[in-house]
Structure 1
Amino acid sequence: MPISDYVAGIRERIGHDLLLLPGVTAVIREGEHFLLARHAHSGLWSLIGGGVEPGEDPAEAVVREVHEESGGQIRIVRIVGAYGGDSLMATYPNGDRVGYVTTAYECALVGAATPDRDEIRELGWFTREQISALPRHDWIDRVLDDALRSPHSRDARER
């Protein structure tokens, strides 16, 4: 999906300056396999996700993003965590600078998913070991590792 009207309006006022945006990420999982998407603009593999629109609940946003990019329907299982920082900073080819803060949701896929061929070129199921060999956005490693932890275990940062 192209830039939202909301972000386009902000860009008209601030140009290419850094913009901090809320996002959502779907960690779609079947046992030890994760569904990844190869993005058209970068060729890199990543998790499906996108921006939260004004007034939109993040859980609704992750359902919408998965449907827009893959036609798939999901059931949210739990929140994996919230992520941001340098690894989620990006400069797009047009010069727009963005920093994302994303909430990752573990999800189960309900029905079939196929790439939209606009944002997503390819979808595939991979184990954590297979993902390590893929050209990917590095930030997903932390999300996937957190998703593999028991939902009741404490993160090392909390100890």
Structure 2
Amino acid sequence: MSTPDFIRDLRVSIGHQLLWLPGVSAVVLDDRRRVLLVRRADDGRWTLIGGIPEPGEQPAETAVREVEEETAVRCVAERVLMVDTQPPVRYPNGDQCQYLDINFLCRPVGGEARVNDEESTEVGWFALDELPPLSEQALARIGLATRDEPTWFAPPSPHPA
């Protein structure tokens, strides 16, 4: 994911300090029950599509925009699959971020899957039983997309009495 300008501007003031940011990811599932994945240019891993909303942008709009920017596939967001806080990450340049991720199930409505920006080296549709190696997090999200269940979220921690 390339760094949005508004975050670059913030970094001028705060340096590498931890930033709490919204994040959006998408499980794009077609009518043949294949999932759209990208191979990241920075580390070579296959992953779901995601990104950071621009200021004022609705999360579903971000999911749709990111899918098209990265893969040239047009889609519609159909439902929220999961809302969760990701562990903090430290990037090679020292920047620290922690994301509140909203994950959407999306349905493709047009376009031909291809590498459409510098963030990935490959794009592909994968049958659910022929997925490349993926993180547990991506597999969990894909699993949620294949079931008709309520949105997943971590339950609140119990308060001490």
TM-score range relative to shorter protein: 0.7 to 0.9
2:143 is the alignment partner of 1:145: yes
Task: Report SS of the residue matched to 2:149.
Answer: coil
CA apart distance, 1:90: 2.2
Task: Report SS of the residue matched to 1:123.
Answer: strand
Partner of residue 96, structure 1 = 95
Partner of residue 83, structure 1 = 84
Aligned in 2, Cα 1:69/1:6: closer, same or farther, shift over 3 Å?
same
Gap regions ≥5 residues in structure 2? 156-161
CA apart distance, 1:39: 0.6
2:59 is the alignment partner of 1:58: yes
Gap regions ≥5 residues in structure 1? none
Contact 2:86 2:101 in 1 (8 A): no
Aligned in 2, Cα 1:99/1:156: closer, same or farther, shift over 3 Å?
closer
2-structure distance, mates of 1:55, 1:63: 15
Aligned-residue Cα RMSD (Å) equals 2.2
- Using the size of structure 1 for normalisation, the TM-score is 0.84
In the TM superposition, what whole-angstrom CA distance separates every residue of 1:31-54 from its partner, at most 9, and x where no partner exists?
Answer: 432111101011011111100111
In the TM superposition, what whole-angstrom CA distance separates every residue of 1:78-98 from its partner, at most 9, and x where no partner exists?
Answer: 111112232xx3221111111
Partner of residue 110, structure 1 = 109
1-structure distance, mates of 2:47, 2:37: 5
Identical residues among aligned pairs (%): 36
CA apart distance, 1:157: 6.4
Task: Report SS of the residue matched to 1:43.
Answer: coil
Q: How many positions carry a matched residue from both structures?
A: 153
- Using the size of structure 2 for normalisation, the TM-score is 0.84
Task: Report SS of the residue matched to 1:116.
Answer: coil
CA apart distance, 1:155: 5.6
Provide runs of 4+ in structure 1 moved above 6 Å.
none
Counterpart mapping for 1:61-72 below 5 A: 61-72=62-73
The residue type paired with residue 70 of structure 1 is: T
Contact 2:26 2:50 in 1 (8 A): yes
1-structure distance, mates of 2:66, 2:153: 30
